[in-house]
Structure 1
Amino acid sequence: MLLGMLTFFAVCALSLANAEDLKNGFSRLEKVARLLALIPIYLTLRQLNVSLVRPFFWGCLWAGPWMLAVSLYQAVIETAPRSAGAYHPIVFGDQAVLIAGVLGASLCFSPRSRMLWVLTLLSLGSALIASGLSGSRGGWLALPILVALYLWFFRSSLAHRVRVLVLAVFFVTAAGVMVSHNPVRERITHAYEDIVNYRSGDKVNTSLGSRFLLWDLAIDIWKEHPLMGTGLGDYSHDIDQIIDAGETRLNTVWPHAHSIYFELLATTGLVGLLALVGGLFVVPSAVYFRKIQAGKMSAVTFPMAAGLGCLLSFAVFGLSEAWTARSPLLTSYVVCLLVFSSGMYAGPDMSNNVFDSEPMKEPA
């Protein structure tokens, strides 16, 4: 896992040999360098057999209501069209989904007190409402995938009534969102209109239309530099040149491609894309799965389930947001991977001191 981080950083650094905008390139590399900070801290926690899962869980438990309070203040008092927290609506919404995913994983385990389970459920709901008020559509894509992941993960051990209840709540909530007037439905409606306008060619520089153009241009740039790309941080420089040449319908120079996959394909080439997918997602996921003894789902602990949920969330976030270019999201990735990876290797009494190790089962 650590080797994967080093490989990704090395590929990003080597791509700067092709870059023309070195100032932006080194700025991006400085963000990616946060991955390297994970290595000494992770090794220290492993050596000391220390788990940060418990304080991280309590932080997520308190974060849900606070994010809801902030989003309601901005939506009601400040009458903001989208709740942005202290930084940006997309970052705020993705962080809320991330917290909801961690709390959702915890609900699959038997709590030491019924009150804790109720508080967790309330905090999870608060985080989801905050994400809805942010209008971050890309983050919402992770929600059904997370539900499917946890249900599949615990398909042989989770109580049948719990699985049915989760599915019922999910579909009823989704139906309620689509039939009522709310910010989530409005954002979904706008997305549909953007797609229709883009396909018709009438109006392409919309929220989604701009993304489609950015991704299309990223592929064109990659075709000219297939192996190592044009250099980390050079995407906006390349787009500026293409717009000046009149070779695109895009009318705005964006600082990134709104997708980690398309941007890194253009700026670091096929090598960089493989290093990203392998080093940041595939290899860490393989480490989590390898800890499940003989593939038995009963061996799954909270750090394993939550860690895989976080990895999946960031993989989905990357479809529509270049979070490797945003310090808050990149830092969140590092923290989540550090907490759950080190906690997974801590002793049984330390890695699961919030929830019992066994998923909830039908009472005897």
Structure 2
Amino acid sequence: MSASASSVFSSAAGPVGPRERWALRLLQAALFLLPALLLSTPWGLGPFALLALLAFALKPSAFARGWREVGRETRWLLAMALLAAAVVLFSKFHFDVRWREADNRLRLLTAPFFAVLVYAWRPSRRWLWLGALAGLAGAFALALYQVGTGTERALGWTANAIVFADALIALIVLAVFARPPGELLWTALACALGVGAVVLSGSRGVWPALAIVLLVALVVSGGRARKLSWAVLAALILMMAASHWIAPLAQQIRLTELVSDMDRVKRGGDHESSLGARMTLLELAGDSFAEHPLAGVGVGRFETVVMATPQCAPPAPRIGFCKLGHSHNDAFEWAATMGLPGLLAILAIYLVPLALFARLLPAQTHGRARSSALGGLVLVLVYIACGLTQSMFAHQLIASFYAVAVGVLYGFALLERESGPQ
């Protein structure tokens, strides 16, 4: 057994036993499966949650000891989750909304649990990195198969191309910033596959998030890692430029469509396009917030605002537009559906973890460019960027992954503050 594991369980109670060893193995397997199965299988986060809970059940006293040691460090994370839960539950009961609409947002309550679990058991972060590599490779293979067999845009197992692309960027963050020393080649290859899967998804809103990952990597990395970041950035610029002459590539990344949509909106106020529909949704969300500033229209009930528009009235409703159930923007979604409390809650959901990771970052003395605190900070920035064009917490997969990943990375960041990467 590793020295780190022995340090966890060495106590007056006696030597390390088989239950402790099995618990650590289960948690490390869970960390591998967390990103590995997220997009390339229909099971999502299920296997991770099952193994993590089994690890907890095998030695709950270790978790209790970890809580006593760093429970105070997680109080702001817990306060953020409780604030969001209070706002969501009030909206759910006030408007008699289905539980499934509140469920995605309530999963934030798991973030402090996973932070303490990682801190208490001290697993190796390498398992998280390996899982991210496997997850990116699997997602690319599945995306290639789907597009090759006639699917217009790769979806993975998410049934939503935008969600698929958002989750891919989150996996790239784990691959880049959970990387052990000397593992640059495999990381670069996996990230290239991830970018390829993003292209196959046809999602445009994730490119600013990918730019954030590259820019941070350029700023904090040195040596070969920085050179590689420049090479990747150059390759992406060349790909964008080539899309103007290579028709299949232009069609897949939908840049030509974006330019066309912008022209249509500018010339005639045409809101029938994808871009126009999003602008209409933001206008509807803003109007809803102005009309219901205190409580909104109810969590998960933005579709009622959409269905009340003239575009969705008989005899000729806009079929595609009327199926949109959220505003495609985090701040507008939470404000429109839960009013001012909702707006404050979504700000806390992003800004509190951002501040916690930023506070821990100067304490990283080993491999700062690959630290968990930096990875957590970039993950939050990526979610903020993706949240400009998507309602991130309207989808179970990426909402759950945010809660779990923030908790796991915060637990690792607390460990690294004490003794460096595990």
Tell me if TM exceeds 0.5.
yes
Q: Helix, strand or coil for the counterpart of 1:79?
A: coil
Please give the root-mean-square deviation of Cα atoms over the aligned residues, in Å.
Answer: 2.7
Distance 1:183 1:219, change over 3 A: farther
CA distance in structure 2 between the aligned counterparts of 1:90 and 1:232, rounded to whole angstroms: 21
* In structure 2, C-alpha distance between the alignment counterparts of 1:72 and 1:349, rounded to whole Å: 43
Contact 1:226–1:270, Cα closer than 8 Å, also in 2: yes
Q: Which of 397, 407, 420 is equivalent to 1:328?
A: 397
1:1-364 to structure 2, matched below 5 A, reads: 1-16=77-92, 19=95, 22-24=96-98, 26-46=99-119, 48-51=120-123, 53-76=125-148, 78-87=149-158, 88-106=160-178, 110-111=181-182, 116-152=183-219, 154=220, 158-159=221-222, 162-163=225-226, 165-180=228-243, 181=246, 185-186=250-251, 187-201=254-268, 203-243=270-310, 251=318, 252-253=321-322, 254-278=324-348, 280-293=349-362, 302-346=371-415, 352-353=421-422
For the 8 Å contact 2:206–2:386, the answer to whether it is kept is: yes
Contact 1:211 1:258 in 2 (8 A): yes
Matches of 2:292 and 2:269, distance apart in 1: 32
Report the TM-score, using the length of structure 1 for normalisation. 0.83
What amino acid is aligned across from residue 340 of structure 2 in structure 1? L
SS of the residue aligned with 1:138? coil
Question: Alpha carbons of 1:351 and 1:75: their partners in 2 closer, same or farther (altered >3 Å)?
Answer: farther
Q: Identify which range, 299-308 or 284-293, moves more after superposition.
A: 299-308
| Between 249-258 and 8-17, the greater mean CA deviation after superposition | 249-258
Q: Deviations over 1:261-284 (max 9, x none)?
A: 111111112221122112x21111
Quick one: which amino acid aligns to residue 15 of structure 1? S
Contact 1:17–1:231 (8 Å) recurs in 2: no
Gaps in structure 1 of 5+ consecutive residues: 354-364
Q: Equivalent residue of 2:122, what SS? A: coil
SS at match of 1:110: coil
Question: Is this contact kept in 2: 1:343–1:351, CA < 8 A?
Answer: no
How far the C-alpha of 1:132 sits from its partner, in A, is 0.7
Shift of 1:190: 0.8
In the aligned structure 1, how far is the partner of 2:279 from the partner of 2:420? Answer: 43
Residues 5-62 of structure 1 deviation map (CA, whole Å, 9 limit, x = unaligned): 111121122234653xx334x321122111112333433433x242463322111011
* Larger RCO (CA within 8 A; separation ≥ 6): 1
1:63-107 C-alpha deviation (Å, 9 max, x unpaired): 12211111111112x122111112221121112222122223356
Give CA deviations for 1:173-198 in whole Å, capped at 9, x if unaligned. Answer: 31233224266533111112112212
Structure 1 residue 350, shift from structure 2 partner: 7.5
Q: Paired residue for 1:356? A: none
Instruction: Work out the CA distance in 2 between the residues paired with 1:210 and 1:5.
Output: 32
Structure 1 residue ranges, 4+ long, deviating more than 4 angstroms after superposition: 294-301, 347-351
How far did 1:165 drift?
4.7
Aligned equivalents of 1:128, 1:271: Cα separation in 2? 36
Unaligned runs of 5+ in 2: 1-76
| Distance 1:244-1:70 versus aligned 2 partners, 3 A rule | closer
Which range is displaced more, 96-105 or 210-219?
Answer: 96-105
Quote the Cα distance in structure 2 between the aligned partners of 1:106 and 1:120. 10
Please give the secondary structure, in 1, of the residue aligned with 2:288: helix
Distance 2:92 2:352 in 1: 25
